[in-house]
Structures are given as C-alpha cells and as structure tokens.
Amino acid sequence: MSYLHRAATLLRQHEGLRLTPYKCSAGALTIGYGHNIDASGLPAAVKANLDRDGKITQADAEALLLAGIQRAENDCRRLFPRFEGFSDQRKAALIDWLFNLGKTRAMTFRAAIHLINRGLWDEAADEMLNSRWAQQVGKRAVTVTDMIREG
C-alpha cells in the first residue's frame, strides 16, 4: 500500500464522513472528511451540490479528500526537506497531521519540525504529544505519533 493510500485510509478513519457542513473542534466550518471550508473554500461544482441539495455527494467528499491530501503532502515537502526519504508509514502519519492542523498551525510546532528534520523521531513524537492538539484529538495523536516513532 502506498503512503498516499495509507494516508487516505487514516484520514477517513480519523475524520469520519459528514456530507453536511458542521463546526469542527477548532470552530471551522467543515464538510466531507474534515475539509475546512473556511480555510479552503469549495470547488464550484461541490458548492453547487451543497447549495442545491444542502449536502455534498460521496464523490465530492472523496475529491475534497484527495485535494487535501495533495495539499498536505506539498506542505510536508516544504517543512521536511528529506520527506522523500522518510518511510511510507512516517509520510502517511505526517500527511494526516498536516491535513488535520493545516500548514499555519503545524508551523507552530517548531521544536517537533526541527526534531523530525534531524531524524529524532521519538523526541518529535513527544513534542507533538505534549500539545493542545494532542489533547483535542486524543487517540488520533497517539496513532500518528506511534507511526512516527515506529517508522
């Protein structure tokens, strides 16, 4: 299984699917598999479905998920110059993390980013777990950091 497929599986599990808009734990208007409408908006066709039907389709949710994974992967490549050399498990975990937090919030994890870039995986996982994010997402944080530790 490729790391992108693994990331998609993780995100479906962690985010769940909601075809109608809702407020996430951070207060952002969200839809599908955790797509932040406030931060990213919606493509015209998806917005048309939502406006017309009051919900999006499963296909819309999958398209938003794939676009979000691509954005998170691109952000990972910017934050972690050696991303390409990371194990598939670590890549999937970091994509999940960036997808969940968004690049702006993820960049506040300066120590964790520095430790990841130095290959200090256990210390980076500890930094991530010692955060408000970990308190908010609970088991997800444990899963992501265990994947980072185990490589």
CATH number, domain of 8, equals: 1.10.530.40
Residue with tokens 């996982």: 125
Total domain count, the chain:
1
- Taking the model in full, what pTM does it have? 0.94
pLDDT of 33-66, one tens digit each? 999 999 899 999 999 999 999 999 999 999 999 9
Per-residue pLDDT, averaged over 131-135, amounts to 94
Mean pLDDT of 118-143: 96
Quote the domain boundaries for residue 122.
3-150
DSSP readout, 92-136?
A: HHHHHHHHHH-HHHHTT-HHHHHHHHTT-HHHHHHHHHSSHHHHH
Mean pLDDT within 19-38: 92
Mean pLDDT (whole number) for 96-124 = 96
pLDDT at 24: 85
Mean of the pLDDT values across residues 123-134? 96
Proportion of the chain above pLDDT 90, given as a percent: 93
